[in-house]
Amino acid sequence: MQLSRLRALLFDMDGVLYRGRAPLPGAAALLAFLDGAGIPYALVTNNSTRTPRQYTRLLARMGMRVPAARIVTSATSTAAYLRGVLPPGARVLVVGEAALRRALVDAGFVPTWERPAAVVVGLDRRIAYRTLALATQALLDGARFVLTNPDLLLPTESGVIPGAGSLAAALQAATGRRPTVIGKPNPRLLREALARLGVAPTATAIVGDQVATDVAAGRAAGLYTILVRTGVRAGGRLARGVRPHLVVRDLRELRHRLVAAGLRPRAAHAPRVPRRRV
């Protein structure tokens, strides 16, 4: 597919639009360009530590105005998945932060430490050994094992930190259980975003910074895939067997390529001036 045929874009967030609390070069300008060109977009993030409204406020502080309805997180998708496999009011053990817990409570589940029907793992930057111990026992007792996203690393303004996938790896090693993965590379988040925008995958691109998650999910969902080199592990990303359709240095380069492909902001219609009668 050529860039000139794009009708919508999906963006990963961490490592693409920003790192930590610092916006990345060209992010705000590109979203403003898309708004001006009338090209819809949505944000799809594997990070489960913020609600869509919290992401909206974070982005606004960095000069990017995105409504909460355009933000799909692994926490909200995990809650939606569990609604399909567990009865209302089911008990869940949450390895994660407040946003994941809030998504599960809003979906009707009850957080607990005792006899949970499922162990739900997301990023937890204050993880305690007791939490891992209780989650291990619950998994050995037969609870479902659900992982919001498999990212081993999370980019921040000061470097990378262990991600949710690293926590799940410890539980998998302890129990021999493999989790059901909700976030990318599973295409679930992308398909939810496409449904919200009302666009077809064949006319949509996913912009991400990781081959193993963003590009793989895009390929699985039938999207055009764009790798931006502003996230983690900048070197050696293309040696994973899954290749993006396009690689760009940053979002400034992507905007230049879109302009070169013929995409332009829509010109405002000039007001009609009534003719004078002579």
**pLDDT digits 0-9 by tens, 131-153:** 999 999 999 999 999 999 998 98
pLDDT given at position 240? 56
pLDDT given at position 264? 73
Largest CA distance in the chain: 91
Residue 248 phi, psi (nearest 5): -130, 155
Measured distance CA(24)–CA(14) in Å, rounded: 10
One-letter amino acid for residue 106 of the chain? D
pLDDT given at position 266? 59
Q: Which of 14, 124, 151, 214 is catalytic?
A: 14
pLDDT given at position 62? 96
Q: Residue 228 pLDDT > 70, yes or no?
A: yes
pLDDT given at position 5? 87
Pairing of strands 71-73, 91-95: unpaired
pLDDT in tens, 34-52: 999 999 999 999 999 999 9
Q: Residue 233 pLDDT > 60, yes or no?
A: no
Over residues 177-189, the mean pLDDT reads 96
pLDDT given at position 262? 87
At 93 the three-state DSSP class reads strand
Q: Which of 12, 124, 151, 209 is catalytic?
A: 12
pLDDT in tens, 148-168: 999 898 767 677 889 999 999
Closest CA to 166 of 182, 180, 150, 181: 150
**Full set of structural domains in the chain with CATH:** 3-46+187-260 (3.40.50.1000), 75-181 (3.40.50.1000)
Over residues 248-271, the mean pLDDT reads 80
Is 12 catalytic? The answer is: yes
pLDDT in tens, 72-118: 999 999 999 999 999 999 999 999 999 999 999 999 999 999 999 99
Measured distance CA(164)–CA(170) in Å, rounded: 10
pLDDT given at position 170? 97
Q: Residue 209 pLDDT > 60, yes or no?
A: yes
Q: Residue 232 pLDDT > 80, yes or no?
A: no
The pair of structure tokens assigned to 217 is 């999910």
Query: How many beta carbons lie within 10 A of that of residue 109, not counting itself?
Result: 25
User: Residue 272's beta-bridge partner residues?
Assistant: none
Share of residues in the chain with pLDDT > 70 (%)? 91
- Average pLDDT over the chain, rounded to whole? 90
Share of residues in the chain with pLDDT > 90 (%)? 80
Q: Residue 120 pLDDT > 70, yes or no?
A: yes
Name residues whose C-beta falls within 8 Å of residue 221's C-beta, 6 or more positions apart in sequence.
187, 190, 191, 194, 201, 206
Q: Which of 2-6, 34-38, 59-63, 212-216 has the lowest mean pLDDT?
A: 2-6
